[in-house]
Structure 1
Amino acid sequence: MLDVRRLRLLRELSHRGTIAAVAEALMFTPSAVSQQLAALEREAGVALLERTGRRVVLTPAGIALVGHAEAVLERLEQAASELAAARTGLAGTIRIGAFPTATRTILPAALAALGREHPALEPMVDEIDPAEVAPRLRTGDLDVALVHEYDFVPTEPDLALDSLPLLEEPMYLATPANPATTSTASTASTASAASAAAHGTLPACRDEPWIVSAPGTLCHAMTVRACQAAGFAPRVRHHIDDFGAVLAMVAIGQGVALVPELGAADPPGGVDLTPLPMRRRTRIAFRRGAGAHPAIAALTAALRAGVGPSANAPGPAVPAPRV
């Protein structure tokens, strides 16, 4: 009989590529992970791994077994969901991952409603960039997460996860509106940026300094790729993750930026916001098979009620992006 815990290790190895990365993610020692995978190979009776330097590559048998592991783990999530539904009332913790804009604008109303409906359910929120969500959902560190994807940032499905649509919002080009508020040294740049806002196009901002999120985040990749699609590479001056701070910097002439609608809900004076033909889509992600869990279903309902008619219509769960 194949051990489910060892199948989880093999699944994580297929994503992470090294024994050390799996050990770090699951808080094991590398030797313990190696021993468990060796035991799984003995159980399977065939070689599952091939070592190439520091990395470990799955054999065809190993790849096939990961596919079966995904199906087994999905059924276990479904079983846990059905057992939870059989209990009376919702209680315990639900671990939620959310990106900063969602933490500020979407979650408060949803958590307030959840608390009124299910006072014994304790939500625990961890602010996290969507790029880090998938591994933390797979390992059970999170139960559910809000993730987003942008135009120009293609994502590939993660077979361990499902997701449901929540919200779609436009993107805006943020440029300084009042050159007089800036220093003499930046006046020419700011005037050009204000002119760019009038044109409402990314190419008009090709010579401006840009304010972007930290490298490695989806927001950073979105800005860089959107500019590349417009025919130029952005000249990055600042790396700032908080959209409120980004707009404050735009207002004083420190650069231009791309911001989503939720991030631009309360812009400071001195900022022009020009809508662009780009979108950001927010989804509710969870482990495959866990969507019917009462706690996740209750949070999903509260989130959708909170965003109102701007939410997408309910639909079937689809494989979540590898975010």
Structure 2
Amino acid sequence: MTIDVVRLRVLVAVARAGTVTAAARELHYSQPSVSHHLARLEAETGAKLVQRVGRGLRLTEAGRLLAERGAEILGRLDAASAELSAHVGLRAGRVRLAAFPSALGTFVPAAAARLAKEHPGLDLRLMEAEPPEALRLLRSGEVDVAVVFRYGGAGPEDDGVRLVPLLDDPSLLVTAAGNDRAADLAAYAGAPWIAGCERCRAHLLALCAEAGFEPRVSFTTDDYVAVQAMVAAGLGVAVLPRLALSAHRHPGVLTSELPGPARHVHAATYGEPPDPPATAALVAALLRAQLGAGEGAGDGVGPSLSSSVALQTAVPVPGS
């Protein structure tokens, strides 16, 4: 069985856009052309990929399966194309990075500016994504580097993901200015807590469990700016990573570094070494840029992105 890449791209566009009309607009094709490509793809695969629903079309189970695998295949093809372009000598080509919000608010812009200065012909794309989503984008070939974090002694990633350590990011107890209680978690066992979503608060729960209590979470938000504003207003206390305080520091909060293991921030790449030149250049820029990122909360945000750097937003994800 031979599958035409152009027709596969049409199917993926239909799955992503939701309708033939929207896919045609995205691909700059006519609607009859999209329908023709879908019909030819069905003939090539011998599978029913779309079915009519009223005046529109929707993917069958086989169509959804092929679209999912097709997105991964196209991502790897696009990545290969970018890598080959990069081998020209970093005078051209594209490299794509996904990173969590507080990394984007601290050392990533400095790395992006450095990369743009050293390799002005290189097209850098940035996406905001939390580690699980960033790793999915990396594995599917939609990004070339993912900045991720991990807590504790978690084992290595599997299936080809390689991690380059960037920095250790300690946890800080965040309380309102003027508070005179001891700077340890146990002193706030009865206080209201401000925490992230159910998936994001695991580290806080583990820290509090070690201190002998379960926090009473009164407010839930993954926005570290909002967390600090609520703490400053006396609505509760929180634990934040130092990078979050480096990206934005509210004048009305106090911070105390907590004992115990920090979260480990890594640059993740995918596939067998060595990395393509553009990917290696980006990782090197991240390594150099992060040197001052963890020096202390409230040190400000790194340099602004160069105009040659495109900043994109992926799916809406919790900030951290």
TM interval, shorter chain, is 0.5 to 0.7
Question: Equivalent residue of 1:276, what SS?
Answer: coil
Q: Which residue of 1 aligns with 2:161?
A: 162
Spell out structure 1 runs of 4+ moving beyond 6 A: 1-8, 73-80
**2:205 aligned partner, one-letter code:** C
Q: Which amino acid aligns with 1:169?
A: D
Q: 1: distance between equivalents of 2:286 and 2:130?
A: 19
Shift of 1:178: 1.5
Count residues with an aligned counterpart.
272
- Partner SS, residue 235 of structure 1: strand
1:290/1:113 CA distance change after superposition, 3 Å: same
Tell me how far 1:254 sits from its aligned partner. Answer: 1.5
Q: Secondary structure at the match of 1:147?
A: strand
Q: Distance in 2 between matches of 1:122 and 1:78?
A: 15
CA contact (8 A) 1:224 1:234 kept: no
**1:277 Cα deviation (Å)?**
0.7
Structure 1 residue 5 displacement after superposition = 10
Counterpart code for 2:171: M
Residue identity in the other structure for 1:173: L
Match of 1:248 in 2: 229
Give yes or no for the alignment of 1:288 onto 2:287. Answer: no
Shift in CA distance, 178/305, structure 1 to aligned 2, threshold 3 Å: same
Check conservation: 1:105, 1:262, Cα contact below 8 A: yes
* Alpha-carbon distance, 1:212 to partner: 1.9
Q: Secondary structure at the match of 2:161?
A: strand
Question: In the alignment, which residue of structure 1 is the partner of 2:284?
Answer: 301
Does the 8 A contact of 2:82 with 2:93 survive in 1?
A: no
Provide the residue aligned with 1:36 in structure 2: none
Counterpart-to-counterpart distance in 2, 1:153 and 1:208: 30
Q: Return the alpha-carbon distance in structure 1 between the equivalents of residues 153 and 133 of structure 2.
A: 15
Aligned sequence identity (%): 32
Deviation at 1:250, TM superposition (A): 1.5
Asked if the contact 1:99/1:147 (under 8 Å) is kept, the reply is: yes
Question: How big is the shift at 1:152?
Answer: 6.3
Provide structure 2 residue ranges, at least 5 long, that are not aligned to the other structure. Answer: 10-14, 24-40, 46-71, 295-316
The structural deviation recorded for 1:149 is: 2.8
**1:253-304 per-position Cα deviation (integer Å, ceiling 9, x unaligned):** 1211111121123452441323231311112223324862121111111111
The yes-or-no answer on 1:111 pairing with 2:112 is yes
Question: Is 1:275 the equivalent of 2:253?
Answer: no
CA 1:4 to 1:283, structure 2 compared with 1: closer, same or farther past 3 Å? farther
Take 1:254 and 1:242, find their aligned partners in 2: how far apart are those partners? Answer: 14
SS at 1:91's partner residue? coil
Deviation at 1:7, TM superposition (A): 12
For 1:262, which of 235, 243, 247 is the aligned residue? 243
Verify: 1:209 aligned to 2:187, yes or no.
no
Partner Cα separation in structure 1 for residue 157 and residue 275 of structure 2: 20
Specify whether residues 132 and 118 from structure 1 end up closer, same or farther in structure 2 by C-alpha distance, changes over 3 A only: same
Provide the rounded CA distance (Å) in 2 between the counterparts of 1:291 and 1:173: 40
SS of aligned partner of 1:178: coil
Look up the equivalent residue of 1:162 and give its one-letter code. Answer: V
Residue 4 of structure 1 deviates from its aligned partner by 9.0
Q: How far 1:237 sits from its partner (Å)?
A: 1.6
Deviation by residue 1:208-249 (Cα, 9 ceiling, x = unmatched):
222223x2xxxx645334425614254232314235x32232
Counterpart AA for 2:282: L
Alpha-carbon shift at residue 158 of structure 1 (Å): 5.0
Task: State whether structure 2 residue 205 is matched by structure 1 residue 224.
Answer: no
Residue 80 of structure 1: CA displacement? 6.7
Read off the aligned partner of 2:232 and give its amino acid letter: A
Q: CA deviation at 1:97?
A: 1.6
Aligned AA (1:94): V
> CA offset at residue 153 of structure 1?
9.8
- Distance, in Å, in 2 between the alignment partners of 1:310 and 1:103 is 11
TM-score by length of 1: 0.59
Q: Deviations over 1:113-144 (max 9, x none)?
A: 1111111112222222223223323344x323
- Asked whether the equivalents of residues 83 and 278 of structure 2 are also in contact (C-alpha less than 8 Å), the reply is no
Kept after mapping to 2: 8 A contact 1:147/1:285: yes
Contact 1:209–1:236 (8 Å) recurs in 2:
yes
Q: Distance in 2 between matches of 1:305 and 1:118?
A: 15
Matches of 1:74 and 1:289, distance apart in 2: 14
Correspondence 1:239 to 2:221: yes
Does structure 1 retain, via aligned residues, the 8 Å contact 2:108–2:286? yes
